[in-house]
Chains A and B, each alone.
Chain A
């Protein structure tokens, strides 16, 4: 009550509080950079593109930090920006999802690999040992965008179906069906690689 003018100190406190929030936001966002990059890297074909995409994402995130609601999933928020930038700039690897129906059963990969080795009994645990790191990267990059995005978010980004739905702005049922289809395609691509 003794202060002659409280307006100025209030304003100063508000500005200081906002500055603190902003620094905190930037530090929390930077702490997630490696996880954001891992997803970005599988969305595009080269390391350089992934680096550009992550830098553009952070530039936009730092500019529009006030649209982030504290306490919500910051990693999902960053990935939403990244996904939109990737779509906007036409950097996606392929333009349209492959609508060709799949003939292969889900067990195709395991059966194909087993058959190629002349094994009578399917040895589940050894199937993936036959695949190289290159095969999974090649197989992932060959998936149609819509399927790959979901597989990458859930399997590499470790996002829940709900987060993936929010990031891609699609219903959760769409995430589940694209994931199912994407993984089936992935398995058939891996099977091709494994026997090649």
Chain B
């Protein structure tokens, strides 16, 4: 397995912050020295940010009031 294959395996976990410290070091060492993987990393990272920001839709107005009506307790009797 080449370093790039290994990095390909690590990239997803690296971007999702799911790697162990050892794996993070391994991935970063490779990224430092490999232009191809580094560009891929930047691309994947911008794509994730894009998905996260564009596809997230705020709750419509009025829904919170409907949810509050489903409560079984009296609102305002206790504040978190």
Chain A interface (Cβ < 8 Å from any Cβ of B): 19-20, 22-24, 26-28, 30-31, 33-34, 37-38, 41-42, 47, 51, 54-55, 58-59, 62-63, 106-107, 109-110, 122, 124-125, 127-128, 131, 133, 136-137, 140, 151, 154-156, 158, 160-161, 176, 179-180, 183, 186-187
Contact = CB atoms under 8 A, between A and B. Distances in A.
B39 A58 contact: no
24 contacts: A22-B73, A27-B78, A33-B59, A33-B64, A33-B67, A34-B58, A37-B58, A38-B57, A51-B66, A58-B67, A58-B70, A106-B40, A109-B47, A125-B42, A128-B50, A131-B50, A136-B50, A136-B54, A154-B16, A155-B51, A156-B51, A161-B18, A176-B13, A187-B47
B25 to A, nearest CB: 20
Given A30-B64, A38-B58, A136-B55, A128 B80 contact: no
Contacts of B34: none
Q: Which 4 A-B pairs have the closest CB atoms?
A: A23-B78, A37-B59, A124-B43, A128-B50
Interface of B: 8, 12-13, 16, 18, 39-40, 42-43, 46-48, 50-52, 54-60, 63-64, 66-68, 70-75, 77-80
